[in-house]
Amino acid sequence: MRHLWLAALPLLLVVGAGAAWLLARPPEGRSQGPTPSFPYGMFEDIWLQDPDSFGATLDDLRARGLDTILFTNGRVAHEDALLAVADGQQDVGVLLGPHEELLANWYHNAEAPTDLATAREIIGPLVDGLKDHPSLRGYNVMDDSPSDLAQKIALAVQVFQERDPARPALPVIVGAHEAVYRQARPRVLLTYAYPVGATQGPCDFHYPGFKGAGASSFVDYVRQLSRYRDADVPLWLILQTHGELKGFDPAAAPITLREPSVEEVRLQNWLAVGEGATGIFWFVYSTHPHEWWTGLRDKPTLYAEVTDLAQRMAKVRATLAALHKTRDLATVAGGPAYASTLVSADGQHTYVVVANQQCSPQDLAVRLPGFQGQLADLESGARYAAGAPIPFRGGDGKLLEAVGFTASAPPADAAPPANVVANPSFETRGGASPERWQERPAAHWDGATAHSGSAALRLEGPGDGYTFQAVPLKPATYYSLSYWVKLQGTGGRGVSVRYVEEAPDEMLLLRGPWTADGADWQQVTDTFYVPESFGRGRLDLMWDLADGEVAWIDDVALCEGKGGCEAASAR
């Protein structure tokens, strides 16, 4: 294992597994088969386990209420031997992947063509060597999956699912590399979020490393990373118990991780649950002799807290696995606090996940609009009147059912989301350029070509650049973006978009794909999340065109929500 860095984020090698089985059929385009339901377990480097000692590890996990071990690294022969040990018990599931063979023979093999036939030839026998083990819950297809390998990773997912459709095949998605998820479309979104940095105070989860993925906090990061996830796709999170430093150090490098406190471990758990996670794994089980982290089993205080959380979560995991996150309805009175609303599949039951976001105890009062009933604590059975103070330990949380409250859906005749871009179809001219867009020598108003209306933005090569517009957005909100583009000639990277937060921090919230060819109009769509701390920003339309190359952009739409801007009203 190595501690890697991509896009200013700590990328640690990760894996996962499962327990019970959900039999829902995923939508077209996603890999098929049942998916493990709410695993709660540990991350581990497979080379720190051997067949002689693995049985004792499984006994330890079982005794603590942990039902899954999530492996990284390894090769088929070693994995086969460990699975043989787990097969005799099966109550602790295993998820792993033959990374040694995959990296050498597929991902990093420049001589292997990136096509399905080659993927089947290389990967198929690896799957066949593992799939007969009943303790196997799924496959870690690749850790820290980079965008430049998205096509190979997607083909790997396809082959794993073809050869073993009963188990999910999962790449570990990391910040700023969500293109892997969009191309592979795995049955589960598996990622990690480590929020405790050396320069942050107690229970402050505004980790500076999240900025590389367009986020300012743990919650922002999870929402940004999962913005392409459909509501029925499980979210599995790997959480932090490790740190390069033991305590707070304001002089440390901003991205240095600090070992979390007991309260911060609790808070991670409840924020993950509130964001809709139905799988949780803790990094990391064993101390690695060649890395800087200390394993959880060598930290008895934190391990005792994870044990307690596992046993507490056992009481509510079945309920949580059947819920999904909806728009936030609850408010909390008191000190720093978090509240998230979850609903049942039939929409008849509403739950609130509440967490104390400070590391000291406090009372919090929870309210829902128009609700005067009882809030039932699913873990303890206690009931509280809406708006009554509820005691919370530092960093702790609760799953509360609002008894009798039904979260109403938006009315069917609700107005479509507004397009917040001014002059989005470039109909209005301001000199040689479209009005409201920054003038650039290579960007022109063109009244002879348009996708709709009578004009478009014309971009001419050679060279690269961007034109922009200041577009105000709401903090803590998802946005959908779309635009139409066509090109004449080839040679450059083409056309793309980005949204840049300019204040209070400069941060890239959206980096769209490049469109490099297409003589006919084609639509490009994307989604991104605006962090809670957002102040102001701008939308950039970018180009990189060769000599003689021309591109046109038209009908730019940016609107609230993840549902797209097809019905957005223009401005």
Give the per-residue pLDDT at 36.
62
Give the per-residue pLDDT at 569.
47
> What crossing angle do the helices spanning 150-163 and 116-128 adopt, rounded to 10°?
50
pLDDT over 50 (residue 3): no
Helix, strand, coil shares, percent, the chain, to 5: 20, 35, 45
Which pLDDT band holds residue 407 (cuts at 50, 70, 90)?
confident
pLDDT over 50 (residue 283): yes
Which pLDDT band holds residue 73 (cuts at 50, 70, 90)?
very high
Give the per-residue pLDDT at 410.
63
pLDDT in tens, 131-179: 999 999 999 999 999 999 999 999 999 999 999 999 999 999 999 999 9
Rounded to whole angstroms, what are the CA distances from 565 to 144, 467, 481, 483? 31, 22, 7, 10
Read off the tokens for 279.
């799988």
Q: Domain 429-560: give its CATH code.
A: 2.60.120.260
pLDDT in tens, 439-489: 999 999 999 999 999 999 999 999 999 999 999 999 999 999 999 999 998
Which pLDDT band holds residue 233 (cuts at 50, 70, 90)?
very high
Average pLDDT on 491-518 reads 95
Average pLDDT on 37-41 reads 95
The residues, ordered by sequence, that sit 6+ positions from 262 with a Cβ below 8 Å of its Cβ are 301, 302, 305, 395
pLDDT over 70 (residue 224): yes
Give the per-residue pLDDT at 29.
52
pLDDT over 50 (residue 1): no
The reply to whether omega before 462 is within 30° of 0 (cis) is yes
| Residue 107 DSSP symbol | I
Mapping DSSP to helix (H, G, I), strand (E, B) and coil, where does residue 400 land? strand
Spatial contact of 362 and 390, defined as CB atoms under 8 Å apart: no
Residue ranges per domain, the chain?
4-321, 325-402, 429-560
Read off the tokens for 549.
């190359």
Amino acid at 40: Y
The per-residue pLDDT of the chain, averaged, comes to 91
Q: Which residue has the tokens 């402050």?
A: 204
The residues, ordered by sequence, that sit 6+ positions from 134 with a Cβ below 8 Å of its Cβ are 87, 90
pLDDT over 80 (residue 14): no
- As a whole number of angstroms, the distance between CA 479 and CA 81 comes to 48
Read off the tokens for 44.
């581990």
pLDDT in tens, 235-278: 999 999 999 999 999 999 999 999 999 999 999 999 999 999 99
Q: Alpha-carbon dihedral of residues 504, 180, 527, 478, nearest 10 degrees?
A: -60
Its CATH architecture, for the domain 4-321, is Alpha-Beta Barrel (3.20)
- As a whole number of angstroms, the distance between CA 55 and CA 288 comes to 19
The residues, ordered by sequence, that sit 6+ positions from 460 with a Cβ below 8 Å of its Cβ are 442, 444, 545, 549, 550
Q: How far apart are the first and last CA of the chain?
A: 52
pLDDT in tens, 83-117: 999 999 879 999 999 999 999 999 999 999 999 99
Give the per-residue pLDDT at 411.
64
The burial class, CB within 10 Å (0-12 / 13-18 / 19+), for 23 is exposed
Which of the two residues, 31 and 358, has the higher pLDDT score? 358
Concatenated DSSP letters of 444-495:
EEESS--SSTT-EEEEESSEEEEEEEE----SSEEEEEEEEEEEES-SS-EE
pLDDT in tens, 325-373: 999 999 999 999 999 999 999 999 999 999 999 999 999 999 999 999 9
SS3 letters across 495-512: EEEEEEEEECCCEEEEEC
The residues, ordered by sequence, that sit 6+ positions from 308 with a Cβ below 8 Å of its Cβ are none
Q: Which residue has the tokens 């394993």?
A: 295
Name the nearest CA neighbour of 399 among 477, 336, 344: 344
Average pLDDT on 541-557 reads 97
Which of the two residues, 567 and 92, has the higher pLDDT score? 92
Give the per-residue pLDDT at 563.
84
Would you tell me which CATH number, out of the four given (1.20.1340.10, 3.40.50.720, 3.40.190.170, 2.60.40.1180), belongs to the domain 325-402?
Answer: 2.60.40.1180
pLDDT over 70 (residue 12): no
